């Protein structure tokens, strides 16, 4: 799915800042997954670990930039989800073991479902009418995020 989206977005589109960052984040995520899942199942050598670290870092930078742009425009659809937090720990782990001969491949601990940002928001959209699904899902997501991350009352 991510490959199709990247191919589709590679067309002649007029990107705004959010879409540009989302596109770059998607490319970096696709490259990171391809890199990890085509390497040895358990170990990465120094060069492979450094490349994985660069790709994952690129993903996080662009995902965060898209979230920041959305926040500044009062849009709801880019959120710093717990999966991004987990990926930041993975990036820190890759950076901490720099210089080691072999590094554990991040794909060793992940499944495709772990990398999915759709699950939480899709559950919120199931009870909405098809004509208002985008707005209502965004509204429900905002309520969810404010309850989870907003200030305590």
Per-residue pLDDT of 41-54, as tens digits, reads 889 999 999 999 99
Cα 136 to Cα 27, 35, 84, 123, 152: the distances in Å are 28, 37, 24, 12, 24
How many Å apart are CA 81 and CA 37, to the nearest integer? 23
Q: Which residues contact 68 (CB under 8 A, 6 or more apart)?
A: none
Q: Which residues contact 103 (CB under 8 A, 6 or more apart)?
A: 43, 44, 45, 46, 48, 49, 94, 97
For residues 29-42, average pLDDT? 90
pLDDT at 113: 40
pLDDT at 4: 81
Q: pTM for the full model? A: 0.66
Q: How many CA atoms lie within 13 A of 48 on its CB side?
A: 20
Strand 43-45, strand 102-104: pairing: antiparallel
How many Å apart are CA 2 and CA 29, to the nearest integer? 9
Tokens of 137: 């899902």
pLDDT at 132: 85
pLDDT tens digits, 68-100: 888 888 877 666 676 788 889 889 999 998 888
- Which of these, 63, 65, 118, 67, lies nearest to 87 by C-alpha position? 63
């Amino acid at each position: 799915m991510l490959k199709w989206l990247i191919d589709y977005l590679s067309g002649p589109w007029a990107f705004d800042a959010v879409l540009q960052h989302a596109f770059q984040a998607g490319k970096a995520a696709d490259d990171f997954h391809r890199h990890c899942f085509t390497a040895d199942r358990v170990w990465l050598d120094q060069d492979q670990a450094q490349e994985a670290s660069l790709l994952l870092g690129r993903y996080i930078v662009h995902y965060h930039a898209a979230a920041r742009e959305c926040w500044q425009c009062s849009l709801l659809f880019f959120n710093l989800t717990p999966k991004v937090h987990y990926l930041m720990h993975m990036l820190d782990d890759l950076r901490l073991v720099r210089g080691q001969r072999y590094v554990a491949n991040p794909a060793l601990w992940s499944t495709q479902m772990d990398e999915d940002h759709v699950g939480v928001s899709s559950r919120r959209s199931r009870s909405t009418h098809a004509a208002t699904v985008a707005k209502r899902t965004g509204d429900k997501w905002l309520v969810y995020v404010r309850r989870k991350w907003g200030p305590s009352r």
